[in-house]
Structure formats: structure tokens, C-alpha cells
């Protein structure tokens, strides 16, 4: 065999072998991680509680919110750039639209908690109204397939604040902050 053919075959096998290196994916399903330079970074995992409250005399107000402890996530990213996250999911191998399953929400920081208000209302002696939106605070993201069993979630440049990724109706949320 001529040396040039042997070198060409070796180079081809190296390129094919390199192309088949699997990308890192989360170990468990439905767990969001950040993707930064090919490395997976765990996010803060919280189980939100649903809290409601209200007050007033003649005119009353009420609200309900998902609430997690701590006013700030220990997982921080820099503002001004798009962020990538990965979630291992059974829907990665289907044609299900991930935007019907997963959501990124902005959270409001309070003294000791962070919250996502999803229902609010105003009432007065003659009646009242209540508005419930489980997608309240949602932000636009793009979804692409990632690896064999995962989906990549890409944000736009996020302003400073607190954020949570989750299934649209789940109480388990994966939190991070942007400074």
C-alpha cells in the first residue's frame, strides 16, 4: 500500500472517529444543566410551593405564586450573552414541540424568597375578576436536539435578574441568576 493512501485512510478514520464522540448529556431525565464550553454545570434545584394571599377592605386584591426559598440563586451567569441549557428528555426522540413542555420564567426577588406570580385578582362589593396564567413570566427560548437523548434550550441575552427553567406545570424548578 502506498504511504499516501495509508495516510489518507488514517486521516479519514480519525475524522470519522472524532465525529462520533458523544456530547455530554445530563445523567438523569428532566434535570436542567447549563452548557458552557462543552461542560455541564448543575443549576440550583428547588421545589416550589404554591402560595396565595390577599387583602383589602372595600376593594380587595389577591394573588397566587410559585415560591422558592432564598432571594438569589447561587448559580450565576453574566448578562449580555445568550445562554445554553440542556435537559435529558423522552421527547427528544419524538416530534413533540418542546415549547409545549418546557418553559423559562423570570422570577421576582423578595426579602427571603423568589416568586413567579401566576394568578391575580381584584374584588369589590359589586363583583371582581381573577386572571390565571400558568405561563406568566415566560420568556422566549429556542429548542434544538442535543446528543442522543436531550434537548438544548437557548436563551437570548438576559437582563440581570433571577430565572427558573422547568416543565410548564411542574413544581420542580432549576434556578439561576444573571448579573
Tens-digit pLDDT profile for residues 118-146: 777 777 787 877 777 666 778 999 999 99
Residue 26 has pLDDT above 80, yes or no: yes
pLDDT band at 1; cut points 50, 70, 90 = low
Rg of the chain (C-alpha set): 22
Domain boundaries, the chain: 22-178
Q: What pLDDT is recorded for position 7?
A: 53
pLDDT band at 150; cut points 50, 70, 90 = very high
- Please indicate whether residue 161 or residue 23 has the higher confidence score (pLDDT): 161
- Percentage of residues in the chain having pLDDT higher than 70: 87
Kindly report the number of other CB atoms within 10 A of residue 91's CB atom: 16
Query: Angle 144-149-150 (CA atoms, 0-180°, nearest 5)?
Result: 40
Q: What pLDDT is recorded for position 10?
A: 46
Q: What count of residues does the chain have?
A: 179
Q: What pLDDT is recorded for position 52?
A: 83
Query: Angle 104-105-111 (CA atoms, 0-180°, nearest 5)?
Result: 140
Mean pLDDT score of the chain, rounded to an integer? 86
| Least confident segment among 31-40, 56-65, 148-157, 167-176 | 56-65
What is the average per-residue pLDDT within 152-164?
96
Which grid coordinates belong to 162?
A: 433571577
Helix (H, G, I), strand (E, B) or coil at 97: coil
CA distances from 46 to 41, 149, 164 (A): 16, 23, 9
pTM of the model: 0.80
Which grid coordinates belong to 95?
A: 416530534
Q: What pLDDT is recorded for position 17?
A: 47
Amino acid at each position: 500500500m502506498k504511504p499516501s493512501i495509508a495516510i489518507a485512510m488514517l486521516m479519514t478514520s480519525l475524522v470519522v472517529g472524532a465525529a462520533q464522540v458523544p456530547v455530554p448529556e445530563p445523567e438523569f431525565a428532566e434535570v436542567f444543566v447549563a452548557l458552557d464550553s462543552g461542560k455541564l454545570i448543575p443549576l440550583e434545584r428547588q421545589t416550589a410551593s404554591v402560595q396565595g394571599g390577599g387583602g383589602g377592605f372595600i376593594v380587595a386584591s389577591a394573588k397566587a405564586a410559585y415560591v422558592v426559598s432564598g432571594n438569589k440563586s447561587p448559580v450565576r451567569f453574566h448578562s449580555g450573552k445568550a445562554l445554553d441549557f440542556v435537559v435529558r428528555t423522552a421527547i427528544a426522540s419524538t416530534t413533540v414541540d418542546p415549547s409545549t413542555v418546557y418553559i423559562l420564567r423570570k422570577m421576582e426577588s423578595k426579602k427571603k424568597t423568589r416568586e413567579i406570580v401566576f394568578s391575580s385578582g381584584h374584588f369589590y362589593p359589586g363583583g371582581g375578576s381573577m386572571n390565571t396564567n400558568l405561563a406568566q413570566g415566560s420568556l422566549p427560548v429556542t429548542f434544538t436536539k442535543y446528543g442522543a437523548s436531550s434537548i438544548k434550550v437557548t436563551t437570548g441575552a438576559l437582563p440581570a435578574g433571577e430565572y427558573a427553567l422547568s416543565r410548564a406545570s411542574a413544581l420542580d424548578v432549576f434556578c439561576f441568576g444573571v448579573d
